[in-house]
Structure 1
Amino acid sequence: MPTYTNLDLVKQCDKFPYPHTEPEVYAREVSTYFKFHVEGCDSVLGFMLPSVVQGFQWPDFWSVDYEQKTVLLRGANFEERNENMGWRDELYPVYGGGIASGDTPFESILREATEEASFSKDYVSKNAKCCGVVSYFDVRDERAAPGAEIGLLQPECIYVYDLEVPEDFVPRPEDMEAEDFRLWGIPELQMALRNGEFKTNCALVLLDFFIRYSIVI
């Protein structure tokens, strides 16, 4: 089993080239994708795999330019979808999840803490402390869930909160997204990180925690 350094863990998740540090590599990589636009906005809002663009039956409110490699959304109403397309058999922090449309990061924390670990909203609202943001630009690889597109570009940011819990509190899966919970100390976390057992972006959150609390691994 390979072992990973801190920098290895970062590169596993934040692995797409940045234009200000590697402009030529960035331009070459981006040129292989379709650029996603929304009508009325000049900015590129994302990138799409050619295999997705070519294999999708586009409704009338989409325009696809195969020469310029652009996909334009001209306007539509969407119902919110909730798909559990996460990773499998990976370690996570106690709870976390995506921010629903219209929610603030803190509202999302309250919801996820209740759904995934059976925390009371009152306790979380009084004790959770915002500790900043972890950002990265990932490229989805073969470790993603079955059916997920390999090579998908995923620029993301994670809003990080610390929550100190009572010694007698035992988290319980409420929505069954988690299989179980484990109480680990720093040595166990260090070993799991070195062995690559954590989901890659969750490893970044733990590294951020170690840096903030001056823990050296």
Structure 2
Amino acid sequence: MTNGSWIAMSAVAALLTTSAASAGLITIDADPYAPGTDVSTVFAGVTLSHLTFTVAGMQASPVYSAGCSGTPDCAALGAASFGWLQANGTITKAWYSRDSAMGNCVRQNYPYCYNSSPAQQLLSVSLDTATDFIQFDSTYHNDFPWVWAYDAAGNLLAVTKQVTYLQVNGSGGPGYGHQRVTVTSPLSNIARIVIAGNGGYSSVNSITYSAP
């Protein structure tokens, strides 16, 4: 090996080491914010949106801190979770999708996107910089949490998903309680995830992702 080759390889190794060392985990959580606070853009590098659908297309509105009291998930989720504003002026933490096909609605507004009853209510988490790792804490209400991942161009991604069950609510088994859903991609191309129950409702509190 020539001296020049050795210097070049050393430089590459140093660059890789620096990149690995600079990577870290960032967590965003509704807990520090009073119920009713708009938290859509309070977290640096992250935009939260409430998505629903009409004949005119996908509609985006703010995400709020939703108080947590009197429901089984409170012990797990803490003081607050992420919610959306209902027509009656109250904030709910119930995120709903009709089924797993709803991930297609973010890219194209098919009739089944807006003909759903009840209307779909999805939590969108967009990152300024794409990542290879993102996870969120969720609680079963009347359905399990579901997640779709997208790249910066809006393409639906094939990613690895893993669920860790942390707390059981009632007699339904581990899936009927607090759980942590992890989404990974070796291509570091996850720029957005969209979360909701899969055919029912689930709630979301904290979200953690890997930042370069």
TM range (shorter): under 0.3
Identify, as 1 or 2, the structure richer in strand. Answer: 2
Taking structure 1 as the reference length, the TM-score comes to: 0.23
Identify, as 1 or 2, the structure richer in helix. Answer: 1
